[in-house]
């Protein structure tokens, strides 16, 4: 199909020009569903003439019995049809042991990304391409809002993310709707697999897609998805700006110490609270400390300490992930405690 005849291909080519990737190795995550099959077919079409390699990767979660095995066979057939190498993996254990609903989903996501990371290293991939769409972005943003989020959560799914020193995750379909995906597949007469678990309302994300978004479109704003995507774009730009500013502040206001980092609060006292929070977050990420249980209240307490007057009394707080915060003498010291500590 000529590029000019396909809005889907035009959007993909604009978002991720083939000149950036067609001469390197690209690993494409393919579940067998519509989005990932469309990504694989379209990238192969756009890669024509390049010197690089497209390789498909499929992970069988083994969560849906024969249906999961049929998904794997479908992707194997697709790889053969496209004459592309396939790297396949299977869950080593029972992922359903992760609990129910979101617990299973989280365990499956972690297992999948562990496999994809290993597969990317195995084939020397410069990029790992995943098929997240504009619909996924809208659902993710609402999911983050409902559970409580900061600016990064409002930015939703990032277009680019470092997977390893050698490989970057790219999501070139974030501007493409599910309807455009289906139109493209129909135009090239390409079948795909339908994951029955996407219709189960045990999962919060499914309820957001099947219930909440439809109600918002019906009763409040028929273009709510577009509004959510604009919020994500604005938040992503603001988050990127704060990241850049935080790196500058961190370089002059902090120093590494054994087991952590120490801040000179004289250099932070007049910095805006929003930027201080970003500086703390950046330090946390650089140390590799867990973020999940750091609530807004805990971050705000640290920000308040950073803006305390020089004569404030010393304070100590034990934070999630075994991180200890000590405030005294115009310094804030953050250190990771040993398991015995």
pLDDT digits (tens, 9 = 90+) for 290-317: 887 888 899 999 999 998 876 778 899 9
What pLDDT sits at residue 98? 53
By the 10 Å C-beta count (0-12 exposed, 13-18 middle, 19+ buried), 121 is classed as middle
pLDDT at 31 over 80: yes
Q: Are strands 53-60 and 25-29 parallel, antiparallel or unpaired?
A: parallel
Condensed to tens digits (0 to 9), the pLDDT of residues 154-189 reads 999 999 999 999 999 999 999 999 999 999 999 999
What pLDDT sits at residue 3? 61
Residue 28 has φ and ψ, to the nearest 5°, of: -110, 120
Q: Select the more confidently predicted residue: 300 or 91.
A: 300
pLDDT at 4 over 60: no
Share of the chain above pLDDT 70, in %: 94
**How far apart are the C-alpha atoms of 135 and 209, rounded to whole Å?**
9
Number of H helices, E strands in the chain: 12, 11
> Which tokens is 326 given?
């000590």
Please give the CATH topology (third level) of the domain spanning 241-336.
3.30.465
Q: What is the mean pLDDT of the chain?
A: 90
What pLDDT sits at residue 96? 65
What pLDDT sits at residue 103? 72
Residue 341 pLDDT grade (very low, low, confident, very high; cuts 50, 70, 90): very low
Domain residue extents for the chain:
3-219, 241-336
Condensed to tens digits (0 to 9), the pLDDT of residues 119-166 reads 999 999 999 999 999 999 999 999 999 988 888 899 999 999 999 999
pLDDT at 280 over 60: yes
- 170 - beta bridge partners? 129, 160
Instruction: State the angle between helix axes of 7-15 and 178-187 in degrees (0 to 180), rounded to the nearest 10.
Output: 120
pLDDT at 97 over 80: no
What pLDDT sits at residue 301? 93
Show the DSSP H helices in the chain as ranges: 7-15, 34-46, 66-82, 102-123, 134-147, 151-154, 178-187, 204-207, 213-219, 224-253, 273-287, 296-306
CB 39 within 8 A of CB 129: yes
pLDDT at 1 over 60: no
**How far apart are the C-alpha atoms of 125 and 54, rounded to whole Å?**
9
- 318 - beta bridge partners? 324
pTM for the model? 0.84
Handedness of CA 229, 198, 117, 13 (dihedral sign): negative
Choose among 105, 83, 86, 84: nearest CA to 96. Answer: 105
What pLDDT sits at residue 95? 67
The stretch 60-85 carries a mean pLDDT of 93
Residue 128: count of CB within 10 angstroms of its CB = 23
**CATH for 3-219, among 3.40.50.720, 3.90.480.20, 3.40.50.620, 3.40.50.880?**
3.40.50.620
CB 53 within 8 A of CB 23: no
Lowest mean pLDDT among 26-30, 193-197, 198-202, 318-322: 198-202
Condensed to tens digits (0 to 9), the pLDDT of residues 237-276 reads 999 999 999 999 999 999 999 999 999 999 998 899 999 9
The stretch 44-49 carries a mean pLDDT of 88
Residue 171: count of CB within 10 angstroms of its CB = 22
What pLDDT sits at residue 205? 87
What pLDDT sits at residue 338? 60
The stretch 86-107 carries a mean pLDDT of 73
């Amino acid at each position: 199909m000529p590029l000019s005849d396909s809005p889907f291909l035009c959007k993909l080519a604009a978002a991720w020009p083939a000149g950036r990737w067609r001469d390197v190795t690209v690993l494409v995550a393919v579940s067998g569903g519509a989005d990932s099959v469309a990504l694989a077919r379209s990238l192969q079409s756009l890669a024509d003439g390049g010197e690089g390699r497209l390789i498909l990767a499929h992970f069988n979660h083994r969560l849906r019995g024969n249906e999961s095995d049929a998904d794997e066979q479908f992707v194997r057939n697709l790889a053969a049809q496209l004459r592309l190498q396939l790297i396949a993996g299977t869950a080593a254990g029972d992922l359903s042991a992760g609990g129910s609903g979101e617990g299973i989903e989280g365990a499956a996501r972690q297992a999948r990304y562990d496999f994809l990371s290993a597969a990317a290293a195995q084939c020397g991939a410069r990029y790992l391409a995943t098929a997240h769409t504009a619909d996924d972005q809208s659902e993710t943003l609402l999911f983050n809002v409902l559970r409580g989020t900061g600016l990064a959560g409002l930015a939703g799914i990032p277009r680019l993310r470092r997977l390893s020193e050698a490989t970057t995750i790219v999501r070139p379909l974030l501007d493409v709707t599910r309807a455009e995906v289906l139109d493209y597949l129909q135009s090239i007469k390409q079948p795909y697999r339908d994951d029955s678990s996407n219709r189960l309302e045990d999962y919060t994300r499914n309820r957001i897609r099947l219930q909440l978004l439809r109600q918002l479109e019906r009763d409040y704003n028929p273009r709510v998805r577009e509004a959510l995507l604009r919020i994500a774009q604005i938040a992503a730009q603001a988050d990127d700006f704060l990241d850049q500013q935080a790196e500058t502040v961190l370089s002059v206001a902090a120093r590494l110490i054994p087991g952590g980092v120490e801040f000179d609060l004289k250099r932070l006292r007049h910095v805006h609270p929003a930027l201080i929070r970003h500086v703390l977050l950046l330090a946390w990420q650089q140390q590799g400390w867990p973020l999940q249980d750091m609530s807004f209240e805990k971050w705000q307490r640290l920000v308040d300490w950073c803006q305390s007057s020089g004569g404030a009394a010393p304070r100590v707080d034990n934070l999630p992930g075994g991180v200890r915060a000590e405030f005294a003498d115009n310094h804030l010291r953050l250190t990771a405690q040993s398991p015995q500590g």
